[in-house]
Chains A and B, each alone.
Chain A
Amino acid sequence: MNTERRLMTHLFHKTLRAGLPWLLALTICSAQTPTKSAKTAAAGKTAPKSYPPELVQKGRALFRQECSFCHGREAGGGETGPDLTRSDLVAKDVNGNLIGPLVRNGRPDKGMPHFDRSDEQIASLVAFIHTQRNDSLAAGGRRGNGGRKGVDVADLQTGSVEAGKQYFEGAGGCAKCHSATGDLAGIASRYKGLKLEEQMLYPNDPKSRLTVTLPSGQTITGTLAYRDEFTVALTDSAGWYRSWRASDVQYKIDAPVNAHVEQFSKYTDADIHNLMAYLQTLH
């Protein structure tokens, strides 16, 4: 019986990440010609682009029909789907170069389906999403009725740094695996606000270790790449993916991230706010 308790993200996720640069290269961009480079746009040196009202309207209607259940009618987040007006990907997107492929491929590992849409339809969605984001920024983050709202950095400052440090080093058990001056040095520069709190509770894309013992007795170890009931796989030290039928081998999974899962039932909400206060001091 295996020792780990959580499955790794699906291999498809890794494949999609590897393939994204190629997808970007192959993207058919919208009819609009970019007026500035993506780099300067991301750096905020350009005024927010404005889109023709008819295109935004078409995008609004299509968004309402296909996207609004998860992302909210105003793209501010709905059932399960993220707030697109605060999305890093949308912030970096120029004329649909990122949004287009994402709509067409979906995010299967995160539960987003793919949508077969024409270039014109993608362009209208891009126009709507960017308009929503721009309007949201202009309104200081406040948005119209109905949509899910966001969490600002200022919302998360209700804890005590000292209590958080004590929890980190004591009852929280964090210091068993983490170090404020080691792996967590600079964490507050890498993540802010809600993203820091989410990472703190359960890190994104954690790495686990798979050790496989073949019938011959030989053991092979590597980073867990895939696991379901029938197949286990790792990425070996040379970077190759190797898999086995689970029934053919003995295997052990070492998943330190499980300590995060075990902590959920032990936290009080005050513990979480205090821990946030402490981690935000680690620049």
Chain B
Amino acid sequence: MSSAAMGTIILLASCCSLIYAQGADEQMLLHPPGDSWPIYHGDYSARRHSRLTQITTQNVKGLSLAWAFQTNQAAAIKSSPLLVDGIIYFSVPDNVWAVDARSGHQIWHYNSPTTEGEHIGNRGVAIYKDSVFFLAPDAHLVSLNAKDGTSRWKVQVADVKKGYWTSMAPLVVGKHVIIGVSGDFDNLSGYLRSVDPETGATQWQWDSTPPAGTPNQTTGGMTWMTGTYDPDLNLIYWGTGNPTPVLNGSTRPGDDLYTCSIVALNADTGKLAWAFQPSPHDTHDWDAVETPVLVDGNFRGEPKKMLMQTSRNGYFFVLDRTNGKSLLTVPFGPVNWTLGVDDKGQPIPNPAKEPAPDGRLIAPDEGGMTNFRSPSFDPINALFIVDAHPSWSLYFAKPADGVYGWAGADYDVWGKGTIEAIDYQTGKIRWSHELGDESGAGVLTTDSGLTFTGDSTGNFLALDSSDGKTLWHAGSGAHIVSSPISYEVDGRQYLLTSSGSVMFAWALPEGGISIEERATAKSGH
């Protein structure tokens, strides 16, 4: 073959590789284009803020159903879907679907029933090149071929017989698939594990606590949710769960590191860079696993690389993510369990509000001031917007309850759902939007000034990000237990939401989009 012919072939090959789907490579994960949502959070920062502007505060009232995908099974969709190369990937326990983002038709469906591990929910999958990574409830990481949903390999990542199970959406960082574990009913140590995407072999493991059985030390610190990543610092940021035994702290005096903590680890080695503890010596089951959102911006006049978390215990934390130092700690709803905040910015738990034999009235409830629903950071309005749950509860623990697992009892008394838009520099709530008796949905904001979420009776909502006023709604008929995403396909912006066991895709009506609007639908990061 002549060199000219070889050159032509090579040129053609590289052109084709740009045109045809390849799955998500490292560059796409670092800089997700507007026609994608390749990570649970959308991107590594977890701001869950879309740059797409085709849907605006003026035209959102015309948003209508583009298609619905029915999973035809009972489990509610709790996963945040991915969108890569026109294909949507989402999950429930034991199941992963690949759906055509244009038509809503099924491409493939992976279903491998397991009988071990709690089947309470699955937060989603991760994608790297042409592999989709999924955590089965029985604590196995599965690698699926993204093209057809067949299983390539399966590795055990925790021992389900000890009481671990898995439910979170893995995070791919470089050549690491990072997974976390669940399990509060036993005195087990939580951990993060990094796994090779090709083989499933363990690369490193970071443990939240000393080994189970260490005298006067805690267990727990489960890594229930997906963390975030700063590529410049090469640090992953992760929240850890509550200590065990849960409601009785007598066998684990002290702060119980690193439970209820936000930790920064080196992405390649898993070594701890720094740690901050939203709930030292927790006795209320308040995991600090809520999304650690990464924001670069000014904090009271100074440029800062920040990390923000609305935590289950009712406090909003802003940290300097280069070193873990506290910038702001302030409640975002009623809290009654602290003696204040110490000079590290960490709440000081009030011993009089620990669970007691005759009960203690505690704000918030065990589910917390917020839980798994994703918040969003809106840089346009400088607001941290979160689904909040002001609430009250009773907590009990007595010696007869023992010191294993739950070791007590708690009961919700009252609560409601509210979307709160928090000024991140002061903690003041600039606007709030009532949702009803319970929590609503996760939050997505857009560059065109929209906040997408849902209320507690199944209405999907579009709000004006500047003041929280409702601009559009649609009743879905079931509880929403997921967070919305947005992407662009064929020059059309879609909002993707779920409620119950159905996925809904929304867009402006076909005829209603002008050529100019299509052309200005923004892509890029």
Contact = CB atoms under 8 A, between A and B. Distances in A.
Interface of A: 6-7, 9-10, 61, 64-66, 68-70, 72-73, 77-80, 83, 108, 111, 113-116, 142, 145-151, 155-158, 194, 197-198, 201-202, 228-230, 260-261, 264-265, 267, 269, 272-273
Interface string B93-134: 000000000000000000000011111100000000000000
A69 B409 contact: no
B459 A65 contact: no
Interface string B363-380: 100110000000000000
A279 to B, nearest CB: 15
A184 B260 CA distance: 43
A267 B361 contact: yes
A269 B361 contact: yes
A198 B457 contact: no
Nearest to A201: B413
Given A66-B119, A265-B334, 19 more contacts: A68-B185, A83-B409, A116-B74, A146-B163, A146-B404, A149-B406, A150-B409, A155-B359, A156-B358, A197-B359, A198-B413, A229-B459, A230-B473, A265-B363, A269-B359, A269-B361, A272-B359, A272-B361, A273-B358
B392 A264 contact: yes
Contacts of A267: 361
A151 B436 contact: no
B438 interface: yes
B416 interface: yes
B407 interface: yes
8 contacts: A64-B116, A65-B115, A68-B185, A113-B75, A149-B406, A151-B409, A228-B459, A269-B360
B266 interface: no
Contacts of B184: 79
B93 to A, nearest CB: 9
A158 B334 contact: no
A202 B363 CA distance: 14
Given A80-B366, A155-B358, A194-B411, A148 B406 contact: yes
B137 interface: yes
A148 B410 CA distance: 8
Nearest to A194: B411
Contact of A197 (B336, B394, B408, B434): B394
Interface stretch (B37-45, B81-89, B395-403): B395-403
Contact of A149 (B185, B358, B409): B409
B74 A64 contact: no
A63 to B, nearest CB: 10
A157 B455 CA distance: 40
A145 B398 CA distance: 14
Nearest to A70: B120
B477 to A, nearest CB: 10
A9 B437 contact: yes
Given A7-B437, A228-B457, A230-B459, A61 B409 contact: no
Majority-rule SS of A interface residues: loop
Contact of A142 (B73, B137, B356, B400): B400
Given A149-B408, A202-B414, A230-B459, A7 B118 contact: no
B408 A148 contact: yes
A80 B459 contact: no
A145 B405 contact: yes
B186 interface: yes
A161 B463 CA distance: 50
B480 interface: no
A275 to B, nearest CB: 11
B396 A151 contact: yes
B488 interface: no
A202 B410 CA distance: 15
B185 A147 contact: yes
Interface in B183-199: 184-186
Given A65-B117, A229-B473, A265-B336, A145 B366 contact: no
A91 to B, nearest CB: 18
B101 to A, nearest CB: 27
B451 to A, nearest CB: 14
B357 interface: yes
A46 B479 CA distance: 41
Contacts of B75: 113
A7 B436 contact: yes
Contacts of A73: 185
B414 A261 contact: yes
Contacts of B117: 65
B74 A201 contact: no
- What 4 pairs across the A-B complex have the smallest Cβ distances? A146-B405, A69-B120, A149-B401, A148-B406
Nearest to B438: A111
Contacts of B137: 65
Given A65-B118, A108-B479, A149 B400 contact: yes
Interface centre among B405, B412, B475 (most CB of A within 10 A): B405
Contact of A228 (B358, B366, B404, B455): B455
A229 B285 CA distance: 32
Contacts of A9: 437
Nearest to B182: A69
A79 B366 contact: yes
Interface in B411-464: 411-414, 416, 434, 436-438, 455-457, 459
B178 to A, nearest CB: 23
Given A155-B396, A194-B411, A72 B406 contact: yes
Q: Which of A9, A149, A150, A156 has the most CB of B within 10 A?
A: A149
Interface in B297-325: none
A151 B359 contact: yes
A146 B473 contact: no
A69 B122 CA distance: 13
Nearest to A271: B361
B76 interface: yes
A164 to B, nearest CB: 13
B409 A77 contact: yes
A261 B366 CA distance: 18
Nearest to A141: B400
Given A77-B409, A145-B402, A194-B411, A69 B334 contact: no
A203 to B, nearest CB: 10
Nearest to B461: A229
Contacts of B76: 113
B364 to A, nearest CB: 11
Contacts of A151: 359, 396, 409
Contacts of B457: 7, 10, 228
Given A6-B437, A65-B115, A155-B358, A78 B74 contact: no
B398 A201 contact: no
A204 to B, nearest CB: 11
Given A149-B408, A228-B455, A6 B416 contact: yes
Contacts of B405: 145-147
Contacts of B116: 64-65
Which of B186, B402, B416 counts the most A-chain CB atoms under 10 A from its CB?
B402
B470 interface: yes
Contacts of A147: 185, 405-406
